[in-house]
Amino acid sequence: MEKTISKQKYSTNELLPVGIYLHIPFCTTKCGYCDFNAYANLDYLVSDYTSSLIKEIKLWEKSLNKHSVKSIFFGGGTPSLTSITDLQQIISTIFETFNISPHAEFTLEANPTELTEKYLHKIRELGINRLSMGVQSMNTNELQLLERTHSPQQVLNVIKASRKAGFNNLNLDLIYGLMEQDLQTWQETVEKILDHHPEHLSCYALTIEPGTPFYYRVEKGLLSEPNPDIAAEQYEWTRERLEDAKYVHYEISNWAKKDHECIHNLIYWQNKDYLGIGAGAHSYFNGKRFANINAPNKYIELVNASYAEWGNENHIAMKQIISTETPNLVTTRSDAAILGLRLIEGIDFEEYYKRFEVDINQLYTEAITKHLKTGLLEKTKSSLKLSPKGLLLANEIFVDLLPDNNMQSINKSGD
């Protein structure tokens, strides 16, 4: 890393922790199930987008001068489409602009088709120490259904090449609950992956999101809907199998080998500060939530306009930010409860009280009592967490914790 980053600002213990997310919205093709802010056929914007991303990083320098960056995450889209030259420029700017923890987690999302041995070695030299690869399946027919362009063999080749390049923190994304996918084909995918010992696995149920091609195909009867009973069976088997394989189940959809939990995602789930940079990126910082404009061309235009007026220290005045919200106490308490329950360890009563000076059991008496009875929640002397059944039906609990559905919190707190 010293060869490519000339100036590095390392943080001290006195600084406040923060995560940084950088959005790369470009894709070769956009998969039919994807509802992320991603675009195909915009290659002509890549150079200008990189320039604007660098400018936005610089715009945030003063706002983060008292923060220590614990994680950096390139997401998309397909960040692995970014050239080494562009990545080096972006990463150099990050290290020159912000205070980076010496042990910061540095993740790049990638598709197997873009990852050559040379590229893997180069990004490792740039300081990227965690690779998150969108595998989704090890079944050729399922990959075709998902409109993925890689093969199972390519996945295995890239895993081997990533190890050779020096990556010892590898996450693989998998999708279960596919149409026509039974328990056996899902098991075969997981077993093939376990043979190669990734440090982290993210297993997500396929969801049919409104506005996606999959949604319209289901509406027209061209695709069958996912079977929730089969998905539940697959999830239960996954929990047991990964436990046997010595993975720690630490969040609803995430498993890790010891000490390999995703630091960046834990920042989200623990409701801590993170800054989103790039088109459509979202942030939670200094008690405010805000989001950048989605369209890459408009993002470029607005960041350039903001940069031309550089010197304004108020981030709300940045032109690329199209929405800003300061959550009230009721919303903040609700967010902390919902995000905390996503973690397998659940919500620690003492920690929640320290943060909000209120007993969560009193704040959400009705919802907690209801779901202790339904068996979706479990309660100990020190914590509240999802039961095994609750892991499958978590949204039923989360809905009851939303501010609009829990007016008792407003009435009791007086907010």
Most confident segment among 5-14, 27-36, 58-67, 275-284: 275-284
**Which backbone phi and psi does 364 adopt, to 5 degrees?**
-125, 45
Please write the tens of the pLDDT for every residue from 127-157.
999 999 999 999 999 999 999 999 999 999 9
Q: Which of 217, 237, 269 is the last residue of a domain?
A: 269
Contact between 327 and 289 under an 8 Å Cβ cutoff? The reply is: yes
Query: Does 127 map to a domain?
Result: yes
pLDDT score recorded for residue 127? 97
Residue whose C-alpha is closest to residue 266's, from 257, 275, 274? 274
Q: For residues 120 and 88, what is the distance between their CA atoms, to the nearest angstrom?
A: 13
Query: Does 326 map to a domain?
Result: no
pLDDT score recorded for residue 14? 74
Domain count, the chain: 2
Please write the tens of the pLDDT for every residue from 185-241.
999 999 999 999 999 999 999 999 999 999 999 999 999 999 999 999 999 999 999
The residue with greater pLDDT, 11 or 247, is 247
256 and 372 within one domain: no
59 and 164 within one domain: yes
Q: For residues 370 and 256, what is the distance between their CA atoms, to the nearest angstrom?
A: 32
pLDDT score recorded for residue 400? 97
194 and 97 within one domain: yes
State pTM to two decimals.
0.92
**Mean pLDDT to the nearest integer, 23-41:** 94
Q: Is the pLDDT of residue 312 over 70?
A: no
Domain that holds residue 191: 16-269
Query: Does 337 map to a domain?
Result: no
Instruction: Give CA angle at 337 (35, 251), nearest 5°.
Output: 60
384 and 236 within one domain: no
31 and 136 within one domain: yes
Please write the tens of the pLDDT for every residue from 267-296.
999 999 999 999 999 999 999 999 999 999
Query: Does 2 map to a domain?
Result: no
181 and 76 within one domain: yes
Q: Which of 269, 303, 323 is the last residue of a domain?
A: 269
Q: Which of 251, 269, 287 is the last residue of a domain?
A: 269
Query: Does 92 map to a domain?
Result: yes
252 and 119 within one domain: yes
DSSP for 170-236? EEEEEEES-TT--HHHHHHHHHHHHTT--SEEEEEE----TTSHHHHHHHTTSSPPP-HHHHHHHHH
Query: Does 315 map to a domain?
Result: no
Q: For residues 404 and 367, what is the distance between their CA atoms, to the nearest angstrom?
A: 13
Please write the tens of the pLDDT for every residue from 203-217.
999 999 999 999 999
Alpha helices in 343-393 (DSSP H): 349-356, 360-363, 365-374, 388-392
Query: Does 277 map to a domain?
Result: no
pLDDT score recorded for residue 4? 39
pLDDT score recorded for residue 13? 62
Average pLDDT, the chain: 93
Please write the tens of the pLDDT for every residue from 340-353.
999 999 999 999 99
Please write the tens of the pLDDT for every residue from 59-75.
999 999 999 999 999 99
Residue 404 pLDDT level (bands cut at 50, 70, 90): confident
Q: For residues 371 and 385, what is the distance between their CA atoms, to the nearest angstrom?
A: 11
**The domain spanning residue 395 has which CATH number?**
1.10.10
**The domain spanning residue 141 has which CATH number?**
3.20.20.70
Burial class from Cβ neighbours inside 10 Å (0-12, 13-18, 19+) for residue 249 reads middle
Residue 1 pLDDT level (bands cut at 50, 70, 90): very low
Please write the tens of the pLDDT for every residue from 100-123.
999 999 999 999 999 999 999 999
Query: Does 349 map to a domain?
Result: yes
Residue whose C-alpha is closest to residue 174's, from 163, 187, 164? 187
Burial class from Cβ neighbours inside 10 Å (0-12, 13-18, 19+) for residue 94 reads buried
